[in-house]
Amino acid sequence: MATPPDQQPVQPYGQPPTIIINNSAAASAAAVIGGVGLRRRRQSIWAHFWLLMFTAGIGNVFYAMHVSRWNRDRGL
């Protein structure tokens, strides 16, 4: 059965579905997909020990600031 040249063919399945992509999801949603989720970053005793040995304690201050800022930025 041929369609006349001035008509569109009839689609038996109807209109294709509307696809909505939500790109405004929070960054935490991407971390939950892995199954672990966001966890609070803890201070490492070994990192503090080696920083104390190699930087005379100055590295400890920067490491502690980094971990605290990481937790604060993520609301943890």
Q: Is 47 exposed, middle or buried (CB count within 10 Å of its CB: 0-12, 13-18, 19+)?
A: middle
Rounding to the nearest 10 degrees, give the CA dihedral for residues 22, 25, 31, 36. Answer: -90
Q: Provide the residue type at 15 as one letter.
A: Q
Q: Tell me the pLDDT tens digit for each residue of 4-35.
A: 677 776 667 777 778 777 666 555 555 554 44
pTM of the prediction? Answer: 0.47
Average pLDDT of the residues in 56-71: 90
